[in-house]
Copies of this chain bind each other. A is one copy, B any other.
Amino acid sequence: MAKEKKMVTAITSMDEDFAQWYTDICKKAELVEYTSVKGCMVIRPYGYAIWENIQHILDNMFKATGHENVCMPMFIPEGLLQKEKDHVEGFAPEVAWVTHGGNEKLEERLCVRPTSETLFCEHYANIVHSYRDLPKLYNQWVSVVRWEKTTRPFLRSREFLWQEGHTIHATAEEAIEETERMLNVYTDFCEKALAMPVLKGKKTESDKFAGAVSTYAIEALMHDGKALQAGTSHYFGDGFAKAFDIQYTDKDNKRVYPHQTSWGVTTRLIGAIIMTHGDNNGLVLPPAVAPVQAVIIPIAQHKEGVLEKAEELRKRLAETGLRIKLDDSENSPGWKFSEYEMKGVPVRIEIGPKDIENNQCVIVTRHNGEKTFVSLDELEKAVAEKLREVHDGMYAKALENQNNRTYDCKTLDEIKTTLKEKGDGFIMAMWCGDEACEDSVKEQTGVGSRCIPFDQTSISDVCVCCGKPAKHKVCWGIAY
């Protein structure tokens, strides 16, 4: 067991230094590796396999809601980026500029896409002519670049992977419906695939996407009480259509402007998984996206029949469609236990000579360490059930954390005291709608507005800051 101990003590405790604990997991679970390209990282096979599972599930959800994948160029000419005023103001300061092709200076600079609204708009202008061409429901899986000053693996990097949905509709109503539909798809995905509860809401004016009429977001609460924006969905109205001169002929033969949306989630979801479910033994992965859903570890594998039986179990489980690994390497069982704990494998199956004698195996669930003896006759059923239990248990635990750390506050003092005594969390407090108050809350207490939750159960009638009549309940917090 010496080696097991070595592995476990190898990561920093999350209570001691949460940021270091996070970085340790990223490295020790072999999710990422740094490169000499500042702010960019290698996503290693184990990390990338999580992303592939996320992609696979989401892509099916997008296709089931009628979306098609496309691929736009990665470059945006400077002139094209500048067509929508708010949009360029928001993004120009943080884009990477290509100025030379080979040895020649380009006539016009190109930026590496930070997001692709402008490219989609140019394309729509080419292909949308009549109401019969609408809606177009597009998505693409690509990487984008934003020239961030400080970076952290998955959470904030200069290049990151994402999907960006872009849709164009005949009417405002349809576009708004789409914006909400996709926020719900993201919510479902987070809850059902990532076992991660989220808070749905609308961004305040100061926090919305550059060029949007309104931005909706889902916010998740991390282990340390900080908020992480897990996905956004934007309604654009006809602003982009006007800027890019996209018009269609409606049924009455009039030329009108269509309405647009965009929505996205990124590899930051992997950061969210780490900080929602991880513990001091390492990563804890939700079964739906775990590259290995169950690992089989033979005990006393040199003894006759053990490896054969382990392989038989592997085969039986693999046939049910599960992602199964048998580790028959020469490392000790103890070393293997900590290795797969570090990697967050949801279920561990132990099988040794005694178990074989008793026609059983031992199943240990990663998120709570519970041990169960299972008859080999019921292996498939038991493992499937355990995986469901793991998902439900992880979700319940995360929801409990979110509930325990959600605080209703009526005054700025109450916010300050809560943060001091209980630590960070979702602070619910009323707001008059004035940007000055939003800034003032942040200045005085440190928490910024995360979103205006869809659930508007009132806390009081007056703004937490100025005491004037309140318009909204806002969720405040410290954001990743």
State whether B68 touches A49 (Cβ < 8 A): yes
Total interface residues on A, using CB and 8 Å?
A: 52
> Which of B33, B142, B158 is within 8 Å of A126, CB to CB?
B33
- A73–B112 touching, CB < 8 Å: no
Copies in the complex: 2
Q: Within 8 Å of chain B (Cβ to Cβ): is A478? A: no
Tell me, yes or no, whether A143 is within 8 Å of chain B by CB: yes
A85 contacts the other chain (Cβ, under 8 Å)?
no
Q: Are A80 and B36 in contact (CB under 8 A)?
A: yes
Contact of A138 with B by CB under 8 A? yes
Contact with B along A62-82 (1 / 0, CB 8 A): 000000111111111100100
A364 within 8 A of B: no
A100 and B102 within 8 A (CB): no
Contacts of A41 in B (CB 8 A): 73
Q: Is A189 an interface residue (CB 8 A)?
A: no
- Show 23 A/B contacts (Cβ-Cβ < 8 Å), sorted by A: A33-B123, A35-B123, A37-B77, A37-B110, A40-B75, A42-B71, A42-B73, A42-B119, A42-B123, A43-B71, A44-B70, A45-B138, A48-B71, A51-B71, A74-B74, A74-B112, A93-B102, A94-B102, A95-B102, A97-B100, A98-B99, A98-B112, A99-B99
Known: A42-B73, A52-B69, A96-B100. 7 other contacts (CB 8 A): A33-B127, A44-B70, A45-B70, A74-B112, A74-B145, A92-B102, A102-B147
A-to-B contact residues, CB < 8 Å: 33, 35-37, 40-45, 48-49, 51-52, 68-77, 80, 92-103, 110, 112, 119, 122-123, 126-127, 138, 142-143, 145, 147, 158-159, 161
